[in-house]
Structure 1
Amino acid sequence: MKKIHFIIFGLLCCGKIFSQSIFGNFSILPNQVIKLEGFNGLKNYPISSTTIDEKGNFKLNYTTEDYGIGYLMSSDNKPIFVILSGENIEIVGETLSYTETIKITKGLQNKLFEQYAKEHPKREQVLSAWGYLEKIYASDSLFSIQKSPLKAIYEEKLRIKNEDDAFLEALPKDTYIKWFLPTRKLVSSVSTIAQYRPEEIPETIIAFRNLDYTDPRLYKSGLFKDAIESHFWLLENSGNPLDKVFEEMKISIDAMMEKLVINEKVFNEVTNYLFDLLERHSLFQASEYLALKVLNENSCTINNDLANQLETYRAMKKGNIAPDIIFTKSNFINPSRTITKLSDINSKYTVVVFGASWCPKCNEELPEIAKLYDKWKSKEVEVVFISLEDNRKSFIDFAKSFPFRSYSDNKKWESKIVKDYYVFSTPTMFLLDTKREIILRPNTVKQMDAWVDWYLKE
């Protein structure tokens, strides 16, 4: 008896008691493996798996550590999402890919989830349709004289919204679904709101700013990444001028940081992902603001990779003076075009480009710069290419045809030049004036060429 008690106590201490289960029958999936996975922030993880028996029956288990959203996956790779909230769940159907055959027969929260997942998209579609008609009846002289239809449309839209709100309001208090469905509705609605209901944009942005990314319910919801992306997508597509968009993004970043600083792990996870998202969307003012905000935050320790990446924005932001570069003449390709230091270049502007032969994007961008070089040079824009190679032959093979100065000390990331300019990825470009003041950090050759066309037009 003591041995049994000891085993039970040990399992409880480890937190691995599988006290809840998902079971049921998929009639045309006998002998196939079915898996249950969950979410931790930006990542998913395996919870349990089993082989469906010959009659289509299966059973999977989960623990309190998995509370949140999970998904079932079989060999057809069609997931079914479930709420892992402490209840046993029974699911029957033919296969996961035939969602119309699937029915939740046990588990109150999952039944409600299934019902809302079917009804809410229909309401959204109808609201969009009514919204389209409402605009026509309100603005087109052919229809605007008809007041009764316009009133009826307004009343039907209100009825549909109230019906949806009433469903959410009636959800059992203190349950996961009570939090999850409104949050899922917020995240999934942004494209519809931006396109059909722009009047709802301000309140939707406020709702996003009120999200707490340290909330375990959000961390385990599968909505973690989507919430970040939807929030900033809506800001970008709000219809505001770009300057206003950036101001709104700064407000949103401040709101996120205020809550994130209490959880160092999530702080690093969110800021790392958001920074990458802003960079990918060429929202450089916002990414620079985020970088400086994170670097100046004393409450959390930033992981080294992220800190190094962000440091370039503090050290190499627009308006700063870029370090002069001291060259070794033998490290240039063309001996007739060597210089001793960057400041020796006699040109109004200089583009310093960091890249390498092993960088796929550089193999696209550097040849484009070569094509544009004569045009840029005619407008007094010089180019210096700093190659992050580790051997001379690779450097020469890659850069020998370029018409601009090309240089490599063969030290790759350990090069003093690379470290002085805080380069963490390739290609990286800086546009400098005669004083080496950084006036632009172009993300692409296309952006740099657009600057030349706009600011140096005759």
Structure 2
Amino acid sequence: MKKHLIAFLYLITTPFIFSQSISGNFSQLINQPIKVEGFSGLKTYAVSSTTTDEKGNFKLNYSKSDYGVGYLIASDNKPLFILLSGEDIVITGEALNVPETIKIAKGQENLFFEEYAKEHPRREQALSAWGYLEKIYTLDSLFSLQQKPITAILEEKQRIKKEDKVFLSSLPSDSYVKWFLPIRKLVSSVSTIAQYRPEEIPETIDAFRKLDYTDARLYKSGLFKDAIDNHFWLLENSGKSLDNVFEEMKLSIDGMLVKLATNEKIFNEVTDYLFDLLEKHSLFQASEYLALKVLNEGSCTINNDLANQLETYRAMKKGNIAPDMIFNPSFFVNPNKIVAKLSSLKSNYTVVVFGASWCPKCKEELPEIAKLYSKWKSKGVEVVFVALEEDRTAFINFAKGFPFISYSDNKKWESKIVKDYYVFSTPTIFLLDNKREIILRPNSVKQMDAWVDWYLK
């Protein structure tokens, strides 16, 4: 009896785990699995799942902790984005892959979102069209004297922008959608602004710099990753010189880190992702700047994987002297290509490549280096391949046909040479001069070959 009483008291004093629902009917989804997923920073997670009944009815639950943006998805794999803003939501339609039939029957926040999602793209298209006409009437001498249409074009552009603002200002001040829609507009309008409205680029970049990645609304919005991607894409495609682009990226990185320093978890998540993004786009000056800023950030603890990855930029940046390599003569693949140490090479330049037979990219890059080796060698460039292997046979089979120095001590990541060079991924390439000064960190064989063609004509 006592146990039952405790259980009853627990139920009436403890909030239900799920307090809101998403229900409705999809007439073409009969006895089909359907689920809702939410966003958490760069990742998604399962919120709730069920199976539609024989008439296509369904009901899913979500809690206050899921507050943000989620998406419904069924067997047709066509997601429907919805706002999990603390209200019951009712949706009807034929199926998720027939979006023109879908209606929000209940859920004021989602009704606001649905209305804006239909109207805003049309406003954006009209703005781009008026912008195109504005350029014709202001730059073309045939039309530039026609003040009346120019005035009309400017007035219509202002009217459209005002219409957008009026809609947003009419929304309740505490609603999630009022915050979400301008951020969504910012993120989604980047390519249009870069292509058709470049005069808005400075304002747009400034808006990105004001974003706070520690804001829970942004973290749960599904826009977290896109905001980072589009911010730096716009900087890269702003029409400025590469030097100016890097300066702008430094300003953006500085602004992001100031706010991120208050949340260690998100600090690591954002900086790790941004570092990889900059590396993939070959924006090495920006990635190096980020790496050094993060390593010098005293208010946050960097996770070990990220710290090791970033440390290579402090220890192995351009202008530094690379460590010497002491080789064991037994570990070379070719007895005619044996050296005692790296510093004993007499070449003007040395390309040091860290790779492995198990690395898919290395299987493309190393044979390509082999094809280019005779050209590089004729211009004073030697190649040293250091393999991160444990299996001696695999190393020999992989490297036996290479015409350049190939070496492996069979210790993989635990090799002293690998650790001395702070290698965290394969392939990793360094270009050294005859004093072992690091003069380039090529991101590909193609970039290295372009350097040879340009600087060693």
TM-score (norm 1): 0.97
The DSSP-based 3-state class of the residue aligned with 2:266 is helix
Give aligned-pair identity as a percent.
76
Q: Which residue of 2 aligns with 1:317?
A: 317
1:124 aligns with 2:142: no
Q: Which residue of 2 aligns with 1:55?
A: 55
Paired residues in the alignment total 453
Q: Which residue of 2 aligns with 1:73?
A: 73
Moved more, 318-327 or 99-108: 99-108
Q: Distance in 2 between matches of 1:35 and 1:386?
A: 49
Q: Which residue of 2 aligns with 1:454?
A: 454
1:317-362 CA distance string (max 9 Å, x none): 1111100000011211222221111000001111101111111111
Moved more, 143-152 or 245-254: 143-152
The residue identity in structure 2 corresponding to 1:195 is Q
Q: Distance in 2 between matches of 1:367 and 1:29?
A: 52
Q: How many Å apart are 1:192 and its aligned residue?
A: 0.5
1:4 aligns with 2:8: yes
The DSSP-based 3-state class of the residue aligned with 2:143 is helix
1:397 aligns with 2:397: yes
Q: Mapping of 1:20-99 within 5 angstroms? A: 20-99=20-99
1:213 aligns with 2:213: yes
The residue identity in structure 2 corresponding to 1:314 is R
After superposing on structure 2, the runs of 4+ consecutive aligned residues of structure 1 that deviate more than 6 Å are none
In structure 1, list runs of 5 or more residues that go unmatched: none
Q: How many Å apart are 1:56 and its aligned residue?
A: 2.0
The DSSP-based 3-state class of the residue aligned with 2:142 is helix
Q: Distance in 1 between matches of 2:12 and 2:253?
A: 46
Moved more, 233-242 or 331-340: 331-340
Q: Mapping of 1:278-293 within 5 angstroms? A: 278-293=278-293
Q: Distance in 1 between matches of 2:7 and 2:416?
A: 64
Q: How many Å apart are 1:2 and its aligned residue?
A: 4.7
* Alignment root-mean-square deviation, CA: 1.1
The residue identity in structure 2 corresponding to 1:21 is S
Q: Distance in 2 between matches of 1:178 and 1:116?
A: 11
The DSSP-based 3-state class of the residue aligned with 1:234 is helix
Q: Distance in 2 between matches of 1:165 and 1:249?
A: 30
Q: Which residue of 1 aligns with 2:151?
A: 151
Q: Which residue of 1 aligns with 2:183?
A: 183
Moved more, 371-380 or 190-199: 371-380
Q: Which residue of 2 aligns with 1:192?
A: 192
The residue identity in structure 1 corresponding to 2:280 is R
Q: How many Å apart are 1:19 and its aligned residue?
A: 1.3
Q: Which residue of 1 aligns with 2:142?
A: 142
1:266-293 CA distance string (max 9 Å, x none): 0110011000100110000000111111
1:400-448 CA distance string (max 9 Å, x none): 1111111111111111110110111111000111111111000001111
The DSSP-based 3-state class of the residue aligned with 1:452 is helix
The residue identity in structure 2 corresponding to 1:333 is V
Q: Distance in 1 between matches of 2:300 and 2:52?
A: 46
Q: How many Å apart are 1:304 and its aligned residue?
A: 1.0
The DSSP-based 3-state class of the residue aligned with 2:327 is coil
Q: Distance in 1 between matches of 2:17 and 2:208?
A: 35
Moved more, 80-89 or 134-143: 134-143
The DSSP-based 3-state class of the residue aligned with 2:235 is helix
TM-score (norm 2): 0.97
Q: Distance in 2 between matches of 1:32 and 1:334?
A: 61
Q: Which residue of 1 aligns with 2:249?
A: 249
The residue identity in structure 1 corresponding to 2:8 is I
Q: Distance in 2 between matches of 1:233 and 1:422?
A: 29
Q: Distance in 2 between matches of 1:108 and 1:335?
A: 76
Q: Mapping of 1:413-424 within 5 angstroms? A: 413-424=413-424
Q: Distance in 2 between matches of 1:8 and 1:97?
A: 41
Q: Label 1:402 to 1:2 Cα distance change in 2 as closer, same or farther (>3 A).
A: closer
Q: Which residue of 2 aligns with 1:388?
A: 388
Q: How many Å apart are 1:147 and its aligned residue?
A: 2.7
The residue identity in structure 1 corresponding to 2:181 is L
Q: Distance in 2 between matches of 1:133 and 1:170?
A: 31
Q: Distance in 1 between matches of 2:24 and 2:157?
A: 39
